[in-house]
Amino acid sequence: MGVVLLPQVSRRWLRHTIPLAIFALLLFYLCTRSLRAFEGCGSGAQPCVTEGPPPSQIRQQLGSLEAPEREEPRCLSPEGMLGRLVRPFRASLNLEGDVELSQYLAGWRELIKFLTPFGSIFTFATSEAFSKVTALEARVHGPDAVHYTSLATMAAWERRAGLLERPGVAPPDSAKASGSRTTLLLHRALRWSQLCLQRVATGAHRGPSAGEQCSDAYSTVLGPHHPWLVRQAARLAFLSFPGRGRLLDLACPRTGEAEARAALARAAGTLEEVYNRTQGLLAERGLLQLA
């Protein structure tokens, strides 16, 4: 991952030093660069690298984990952590092929609650997501709420009203960014979260660690849109990433590993469905290069 650790460094020293290093890097970055650069691609003069088509579905992987004859895992029940996460995301997929923004944002709030205990790398990511969710909610419940009921209605209205930014050019004030641009940034973060959780659920015991798999997902989805300093901070954060067993225990407490893997895979599958629909809607409207 590009970081070499000296053999004599103890694990205890590493656990305490990595979060401090991450904080110092991010603090330096925020003091020397504007928030626009943090959210964008590192250069306001050039458009971002657009995301390619979504990877193939993971239905075969999920099928090998799920056991139809068994009851639904408890953590996917209405009272379970994963259940509270997937319900609003499922509800955001309306029958007309659109994405309902109020349910999408409710799902994001549950996703933030779910990811925050996972460690510093998710705290770093979810703090950014929280600000974007709050900004978009202000539009969904604001004076122009009638235009922010779904992704399609929002994109159509913002285009007619001239609210869309030029591709790759961040607004001076991120709080005044268009709803379409804010949704695109959340969309990318959703993909990273989904890929990370999917790989935690389906990874082989003797294969790459959860930290390596989630780091690879970051490099694929978010890294191309982040400046160098943020990428380095992320690399440090992944060094203290929890092990797969710890992540499964946080996702589905007091259950066996097989049940926790199946539940997490099903949750990741729901996030993938939301991602794929949102990707299609954004692509159809030429919005994937807004940021």
What architecture does CATH give domain 11-284? Orthogonal Bundle (1.10)
Residues 6+ apart with CB under 8 A from 157: 144, 147, 148, 163
What is the reported pLDDT for 176? 83
Residue 37 has pLDDT above 90, yes or no: no
**1, 9, 13, 214, 254 from 48: Cα distances, Å:** 23, 38, 38, 22, 43
- Judged against a pLDDT cut of 60, whether residue 34 lies above it is answered with no
Alpha helices in 141-209 (DSSP H): 151-160, 179-202
Residue 121, pLDDT score: 64
> Whole-prediction pTM value?
0.74
pLDDT tens readout for residues 105-122: 999 999 999 888 776 666
Place of tokens 């996702």: 251
Q: Where would I find the H helices in 33-65?
A: 35-39, 59-65
Q: Which of residues 150 and 173 earns the better pLDDT score?
A: 150
C-alpha separations of 174 from 104, 165, 167 in Å = 20, 11, 15
Model confidence pLDDT, tens digit, residues 196-219: 999 999 998 888 888 888 888 888
Give dist(CA 195, CA 210) in Å, integer.
Answer: 11
Averaged pLDDT score across all residues of the chain: 78
Confidence at residue 197, expressed as pLDDT on a 0 to 100 scale: 92
> What would the mean pLDDT of 130-156 be, rounded to a whole number?
96
Most confident of 46-60, 88-102, 107-121, 162-176: 88-102
Higher pLDDT, 207 or 44: 207
- Bigger pLDDT: 127 or 46? 127
Task: Look at residue 119 in the predicted model and tell me its pLDDT.
Answer: 65
To the nearest 10°, the Cα dihedral for 65, 71, 76, 77? 180
pLDDT, one tens digit per residue, over 224-251 is 888 888 888 878 777 777 788 888 998 8
List Cα–Cα distances, 40 to 11, 66, 192, 267, in angstroms. 35, 39, 16, 29
Q: Torsion angle of alpha carbons 195, 188, 23, 105, nearest 10°?
A: -100
Residue 56 has pLDDT above 60, yes or no: no
Most confident of 174-188, 218-232, 276-290: 276-290
